[in-house]
Structure 1
Amino acid sequence: MIPVAPVPAALRRYVVSRIPYDVDFGAPGVHRGLPSTTLTFVLPVDEPIRVSWAGRDETLHAGWTSLSGLHTAPAAIHHTGTQRGVQLALTVAGARVLLGRPAADLAGALTDLDEADALPALLRALPERLHAAPTWAARVALVDRTLATLAARAGDPAPRAEVARALGLLTSAVRVADVAGDVGYSRRRLTSLVQAECGLAPKAFQRVARFEAARQLLGVRPLAEVATACGYSDQAHLTREWRALAGCTPTTWLREEFPFVQDRDPGRGGGSGHEHLNP
């Protein structure tokens, strides 16, 4: 893992993680990109990143950036044996502040800065500037400065407070009906507002949040304990959800990802440097 300073405090509302990666897989292959409650923004170095939806080769896309919204299906990152770059996980609020648009605009999309409409010019210039940076420290500092400038210019156009609270409660596994009551909306109204903000209905968002919590514990605790801790009815339920959302069982994912998850610190929010390339 490349040593790097934490995400600056001023950006932590918008950026869950900012991970420089330099990985040698030993041979060409495909890496799984898993669903998440954050948007994924990847800035490759040396060669374009090639991404598709898993099992759908017709969706293969190559570019000097990769930008994906929230989704409920696995992506496939095609590599030549090595991958280098910087990956960011952006919050739903971060989409508005840093990208200038709601996360819902990018839900289910695999795109890049050239194809996505009306993104800030400063962001569009970032890939070329990143390639000119001489060191990893310089690259990370450039990314931080760019995002800080965008945040300062945005005037903090955050999602409405009740929607932001609802997303936080859904991430904490509170029942959708209870979330609606907490924020003072009918369930139907809550569903409309959450979907308009992030692109997923409350139940789908909660499903992804539970899956994301389970991913943090895999390889750290036995599967049966992971299932119980994350709110699955049993281990079989956990496995079914992993097949649906990741395209594989938890055991298969651990085998494929090892050793990239073996020294992960489960106490860190947003994963570690070994959970890279996760559109």
Structure 2
Amino acid sequence: MPPALRPHVVARTPYDVDFGAPGTHRGLPSTTITLVLPLDDPLRVSWARSAGSLHAAWASLSGLHTEPAAIHHDGSQRGIQLALSLDGARMLLGRPAADLSGALTDLDETGVPTELRQLPERLHDLPSWPARVALVDRTLARLAARAGDPAPRAEVAHALALLTRGARVEEAAAEVGYSRRRLGSLVRAECGLTPKAYQRIARLEAARRLLGRRPLAEVAAACGYADQAHLAREWSALAGCAPTTWLREEFPFVQDRDETPGAGWDHDNRDSN
């Protein structure tokens, strides 16, 4: 990945997955904006817990959310998935992540730069993965160079980093010189979530990277949960299933992913960083 993109694109993942049969898989909450560019068919996504309609798009875009998504497939999927940082949402999409919070949408509905909206059609005309990845990188690098929207204020970015590392909300507020209430207003304006909700998602994200590699009790301790039971409750609340269920259903398809945080709606990871 071009160095200029690294502050804005947490992960860029080409994927080619054979599930063996039609079905769905879970898209877990993440601290990043998820942009998926499918190749064969529009990506069909819905919120797993609601009866809302299915959203189908050639460029599926999701803001930060606190419930799982259901990604529907016909037995296989190919495309490129991007996990954008909060800074990346401003720089590449030209808007704060809060504008997309809780949304399932696509590029045509969000008023992003024309060059980005044209990217799905241009990808379909290319014959190989290297060519597709190179096109995505070139497009995003050009957008980053234009600096679409001012970066988040430094205090908010620092507070979010502290929350990601497990600091209490009041500790993060004191560190950056804000009241808890003021910090809450600024964090919601930036990402669309309260500081506590953002922290819960960051903790889930950290646990997801360790599940299947370490015992659940060790995962709970390493990620800041009170105990294994706390981990299980939070996983059920945010992911819609027990950690063991996710391991059984999803882990075979994501076990080769890299350890970069913020993988968003995980597919079989063939990251070309």
TM-score range for the pair, normalised by the shorter chain length: over 0.9
Partner of 2:200: 207
Partner of 2:155: 162
Q: Residue type of the partner of 1:141? A: A
Q: Distance in 1 between matches of 2:212 and 2:158?
A: 31
1:264 and 1:99, CA in 2 relative to 1: closer, same or farther beyond 3 A?
closer
Partner of 2:229: 236
Which of these residues, 78, 94, 113, is aligned with residue 120 of structure 1?
113
Establish whether residue 35 from structure 1 lines up as the match of residue 25 from structure 2. Answer: no
Q: Distance in 2 between matches of 1:215 and 1:14?
A: 22
| Residues 20-64 of structure 1, C-alpha deviations (whole Å, 9 max, x = no match) | 001010100001000000010000001111000003342311111
Establish whether residue 19 from structure 1 lines up as the match of residue 8 from structure 2. Answer: no
Q: Distance in 1 between matches of 2:238 and 2:202?
A: 11
SS of residue paired to 2:254: coil
| RMSD of equivalent CA atoms | 1.5
Establish whether residue 87 from structure 1 lines up as the match of residue 96 from structure 2. Answer: no
Q: Distance in 2 between matches of 1:55 and 1:83?
A: 23
Partner of 1:4: none
Is the Cα–Cα contact under 8 Å of residues 91 and 149 in structure 2 kept in the other structure?
A: yes
1:265 and 1:18, CA in 2 relative to 1: closer, same or farther beyond 3 A?
closer
Establish whether residue 44 from structure 1 lines up as the match of residue 38 from structure 2. Answer: yes
Partner of 1:177: 170
Which of these residues, 74, 78, 81, is aligned with residue 72 of structure 2?
78
Displacement after TM superposition at 1:260 (Å): 1.6
TM-score by length of 2: 0.94
Which of these residues, 140, 153, 169, is aligned with residue 133 of structure 2?
140
Displacement after TM superposition at 1:9 (Å): 1.4
Partner of 1:246: 239
Q: Distance in 2 between matches of 1:228 and 1:108?
A: 29
Displacement after TM superposition at 1:194 (Å): 0.5
SS of residue paired to 2:252: coil
Q: Distance in 1 between matches of 2:147 and 2:256?
A: 37
Q: Which runs of 5+ in 1 are unaligned?
A: 1-6
SS of residue paired to 1:67: strand
Displacement after TM superposition at 1:257 (Å): 1.2
Establish whether residue 150 from structure 1 lines up as the match of residue 150 from structure 2. Answer: no
Q: Residue type of the partner of 1:188? A: R
SS of residue paired to 2:200: helix
Displacement after TM superposition at 1:258 (Å): 3.3
Partner of 2:104: 110
Displacement after TM superposition at 1:273 (Å): 6.3
Displacement after TM superposition at 1:261 (Å): 2.9
Q: Residue type of the partner of 1:94? A: G
SS of residue paired to 1:58: coil
Q: Distance in 1 between matches of 2:127 and 2:84?
A: 25
Displacement after TM superposition at 1:155 (Å): 6.1
Q: Distance in 1 between matches of 2:175 and 2:247?
A: 37
Q: Which runs of 5+ in 2 are unaligned?
A: none
Is the Cα–Cα contact under 8 Å of residues 15 and 80 in structure 2 kept in the other structure?
A: yes
Q: Distance in 1 between matches of 2:239 and 2:171?
A: 28
Which of these residues, 241, 245, 250, is aligned with residue 257 of structure 1?
250
Partner of 1:3: none
1:264 and 1:94, CA in 2 relative to 1: closer, same or farther beyond 3 A?
closer
Displacement after TM superposition at 1:254 (Å): 0.6
Q: How many residues align?
A: 268
1:244 and 1:222, CA in 2 relative to 1: closer, same or farther beyond 3 A?
same
Partner of 2:220: 227
